[in-house]
Amino acid sequence: MSTLLELSTVQVVLLALSLAIGRFVYSYRDYRALGTRPRPDLVPFPNKQTYLLGDLLAVWKDRKFYLGRFWNNQQRHAHLLRDEKGRADPSKAFTVTLPGIRMILINQAERDAFDNYEKGPLFRRSMQQVLGDGIFVVDGHQWRYVLVSMMPSGGGGLTTPRSLQRKATSKIFTAGNFKGIITSSIQTQLGKLLRVIGGHADRHEAFDLADLFFRFTLDSFTEMAFGMSTGALDTDEPVPFAVAFDYAQGVMDASPFSPITERFNGTKTKMDEAVRILDEFAYEIISQREIEGRDGKSGADTDLLSLYMALRDEGGEPLSRSALRDALLNLIIAGRDTTAQGLSWTMFRLLREPQYFAALREEATQLGTNVEDVDYDTWRNDMPTATATFYEGLRLHPSVPKNAWQAKGDDVLPNGGPRVEKGDLISWNDWIRARDPEIWGPDATAFKPSRFLGPDGRLGRPDEWTYHVFNGGRRLCLGMNLALFEGSAVLAALSSEFDWEFEAGYLDGTEMCEMDNTPLYRPSLTLPMAAPLRVRATRRTTA
């Protein structure tokens, strides 16, 4: 006691501060990240955690190989999620922590508690500059409002998100629009794509097929949306809209540190310029339509912009210019990259296992029409093999390989868990689920289009929660049929018109996923290939 009394005030303060720091550090002895609560009921993911940083350094180190190494770790340590009898324990789940963020990793997407989960501020902050208040950014009441604004005046008395989504889908993605606006755009741009590839074939030169797919889908989606394409397929030069679009897409992968880092690494300035180019493109077309009097009353439904301009919100008012811009850019960003990437991965699989081309070609010869003129009805009724092939490419390489939703309140997930606390991020990974033998059988990692075909050759529609490529339930992708139609038409045409091979040395010279022996992907919200898909095409001279 006398010793303590002899200490100076400064020494006492320093002692107290040291004890407080020691207690604080000791409270994080489980290696969880700063700002996250203890969760002994969850299983730390088998990374090397760091005091106060949790899994941050491990995640950053493995970001280039995130999906493959993540899959390998999960496979090797799956026993940690089982009970003493070796059965899967639904109350257990792996968890990852970053400063201020706890993420719970589940094996299936959340089905039932839609109203308790949202994209959250981190996602909105990274996406809103480009996508505004579009349907892929907003949550809750705003999400309902966006859907109402896509409906006839008054919303027809519908109040649930599910029925609102169905109404919105029926308004924009009707069979009539598929037979008109959508089919016309796809046929026009597919014809251009075949001519470009034919030119490469005639010159006996290798080319980047993935880049052509990006140009094709950009042109087809901008033509659907605005009635005019960017002309990306008409030139080998960079197209300003495409460059800006690509840059924005790459930047929008959410990071908790982006508000700070982007101000020092030049990203903010570049992103502002990219958004300016996108805005200029969209608003110039909208302004021209307003000058022409294309407000939806003329009945000129030649593109999706004219349809959106004809819609009315709950008060009977037309959509604002910013709402039109947001709706159309959401549509393009949802369909352009995802479809192009799905085609790239599927063609890679076909080139590596070319025996599957034969069934595609046989089906194409039976269509009774030029392959570049395939319409919506032909796809729905007569192209099960092409659709099953695209299904399988998307299964193994989902265009949105991972996703996360933030809990607005405490919850317990269906079928016994795990327990979720307010603020937790619930994350699932469809790339990993596609390789899970408990879901897809012992041949889960194999490319096998026949898994979607019945004994009679008819296409089987997979359950949306097992085959989660297009999300499910109330968040089921509005453009699912559009993507499947476009992808199937392209596969049929490319298989019918050309023979294919990799450029010499491509497989040996391309960096591959460690666990999957497929090309490395680039870290992104979606699943782009990190390297060009270098191929050669030869015109087919026989059926």
Question: What residues pair up with 312 in beta bridges, in sequence order?
Answer: 318
* Residue 80 within any structural domain of the chain: no
| pLDDT at residue 384 in the model | 96
* Residue 479 within any structural domain of the chain: yes
Q: Is the pLDDT of residue 113 over 50?
A: yes
Count of CA atoms in the C-beta half-sphere (13 A) of 170: 11
| pLDDT at residue 160 in the model | 34
* Residue 226 within any structural domain of the chain: yes
Q: Where are the beta strands (DSSP E) in 331-448?
A: 402-407, 411-412, 419-420, 425-429
* Residue 418 within any structural domain of the chain: no
pLDDT band for 61, please (50, 70, 90 cuts).
confident
% pLDDT > 70, the chain: 81
* Residue 302 within any structural domain of the chain: yes
% pLDDT > 90, the chain: 32
Q: Is the pLDDT of residue 80 over 50?
A: yes
Q: Are the CB atoms for 85 and 78 separated by under 8 Å?
A: no
| pLDDT at residue 164 in the model | 36
| pLDDT at residue 119 in the model | 72
Residue spans of alpha helices (H) in 90-174: 120-131, 140-148, 161-172
Give the pLDDT mean for 347-373.
Answer: 92
Give the pLDDT mean for 196-203.
Answer: 97
- 84 by Cβ neighbours in 10 Å (0-12 / 13-18 / 19+) ranks as exposed
Question: Any known ligand binding at 513?
Answer: no
Q: Are the CB atoms for 301 and 184 separated by under 8 Å?
A: no
If one counts every other C-beta atom within 10 angstroms of the C-beta of residue 135, the result is 21
Whether the upstream peptide bond of residue 161 has omega within 30° of 0, thus cis, is no
Among 63-77, 104-118, 195-209, the range scoring the smallest mean pLDDT is 104-118
Highest mean pLDDT among 288-297, 365-374, 376-385: 376-385
pLDDT in tens, 314-349: 677 787 888 888 877 777 777 788 899 999 999 999
Highest mean pLDDT among 76-90, 100-114, 172-186, 450-464: 450-464
* Residue 70 within any structural domain of the chain: no
Range of the domain at 202: 162-400+436-539
* Residue 182 within any structural domain of the chain: yes
Q: 506-537 b/e with 16+ CB inside 10 Å = b?
A: beeebeebebbebbbbeebbbbbbebbbbbbb
Among 224-238, 249-263, 395-409, the range scoring the smallest mean pLDDT is 249-263
List phi, psi (to 5°) of 425.
Answer: -95, 125
**Can you read off the two tokens belonging to residue 75?**
């496979």
pLDDT in tens, 167-192: 443 456 665 666 678 888 899 999 99
**Can you read off the two tokens belonging to residue 18?**
């040291």
CA–CA gap between residue 505 and residue 510 (Å, rounded): 8
* Residue 345 within any structural domain of the chain: yes
Q: Are the CB atoms for 244 and 273 separated by under 8 Å?
A: yes
If one counts every other C-beta atom within 10 angstroms of the C-beta of residue 315, the result is 8
Residue with tokens 């000129």: 300
Q: Are the CB atoms for 408 and 422 separated by under 8 Å?
A: yes
CATH of the domain at 184: 1.10.630.10
| pLDDT at residue 505 in the model | 96
pLDDT band for 162, please (50, 70, 90 cuts).
very low
Q: Are the CB atoms for 246 and 260 separated by under 8 Å?
A: no
CA 542 to each of CA 169, 360, 535: distance values in angstroms, whole numbers, following the listed order: 42, 14, 21
**Overall residue count recorded for the chain in this entry:** 543
**The total number of structural domains that make up the chain:** 1
Cα–Cα nearest to 305, from 315, 321, 316, 314: 321
Cα–Cα nearest to 327, from 186, 404, 224: 224
Q: What 8-state DSSP symbol labels residue 98?
A: E
Per-position DSSP letters for 464-515, written without gaps between them: TTTS-TT--GGG--TTHHHHHHHHHHHHHHHHHHEEEEEPTTHHHHS-B-TT
Give the pLDDT mean for 152-161.
Answer: 33
pTM: 0.83
